[in-house]
Amino acid sequence: MLTMRHPFRSLSANNHLSTGGAGSVHEITSQIVFKIPIMFEDENQTNHSRAWMKENIERLEKEKQVYKFLNLHPHPHLLQSILCTPEGIFMPRLETTLAARLSSETPSLELQERWIRQLVSAAAWLEKLGYAHGDLRPHNILLDRWSNIVVADFDGTVPIGEELKLATLPFCKVDEEFETLPAGPETEQFSLGSCIYNIRFGFEPFSDLKLESPVWRLKLVRKEFPPTSNDVYGPIIQDCWHGVFPSISALETEILKISEPRSKAELLSTSTRTTIPYLRSWFLLAQCQEYLAQQRLRLTGSFARKIQLRCQLLLWSFARFGLSVFCGGESSTA
């Protein structure tokens, strides 16, 4: 029987939240989650399983680099990491995923339009930075407590022009041979078109077909997409699927012709709510560092290392307490 390998003893099935293609996410506090590469304890590992786990580690390492870069170039609708460590990635815990929200309720038209604006804005910003997300779909899009979009999961993110690492139908564009295309405006707008379709219609494109259906493959190759003519965003969705827009910025321009933000106040409110406030970011960092010192202390056998970790634990515990007092209620409710 396969058993998950965790870097710390505190991580277990009890605090496990989700599992993706390469990483597993665990709850640390009500405000913090920790993403680690998927690894298994197995005495009879095959070369294939060892290669797969090595790939998971490499993908998470690349995701760390993306988060570090995005922290230097923040956008209100792209998730920021709190701390990247050799063991994994600490991130803010948000309310839910877009996929979960769409499956549980029908959002208002106003909220749908806000989501579309925010999603395309995030993708356009990534494009300006020279990156393609590579796996844009509702399961990788989070919602904060104010129902603002926050794009996450960057383990498939690559520089524009490079080969895509992931292919999740029906959110990934494929060619006649059912192979992925180089990352760029054509692949990203296809994903965005499918996301916008999901937001507007409440279900995924081709949801009536099974993934292994040969009809699906034939429709994608022939570019026979679901009808959208009865929706105001229909022409844009079809243009995204057919790769009409030369850039995501051009797509954003078209989106804003249909759906302008209601006011400057809405833009300011969205920006301040989805980025991590300065003091709260330090509070979350102190919590992460305190947790790290505690967990590493339980694993080390070196006396000198224990002294060092105890000093770090004391330092970050004081910092966390001081910041919680200084921030007042913000640290526990934001």
Going residue by residue through the chain, which has 334 residues, state the pLDDT in tens, using 9 for 90 and above.
Answer: 567 889 999 999 999 999 888 899 999 999 999 999 998 876 667 788 888 899 999 999 999 999 999 999 999 999 999 999 999 999 999 999 999 999 999 999 999 999 999 999 999 999 999 999 999 999 999 999 999 999 999 999 999 999 998 888 889 888 877 788 999 999 999 999 999 999 999 999 988 777 666 777 778 778 889 999 999 999 999 999 999 999 999 999 999 998 877 645 455 545 544 455 778 889 999 999 999 999 999 999 899 999 999 999 999 998 888 888 776 644 443 3
Note the Cα 316 to chain centre separation in Å: 28
Residue 294 is predicted with a pLDDT of 96
- Smallest CA-to-CA distance from 139 within 164, 110, 169, 165 is with 169
Element (H, E) at 41: strand 40-41
Residues pairing with 150 in the sheet: 142
Are 259 and 113 contacting, i.e. CB atoms less than 8 angstroms apart?
yes
The string of DSSP letters for 240-265 reads: HHTT--SSHHHHHHHHHHH---S-HH
Pick the CATH number of 96-259 from 3.20.20.70, 1.10.510.10, 3.40.190.10, 3.30.10.20: 1.10.510.10
Sign of the dihedral defined by the CA atoms of residues 312, 56, 183, 25, in that order:
negative
CATH architecture type of domain 3-92: 2-Layer Sandwich (3.30)
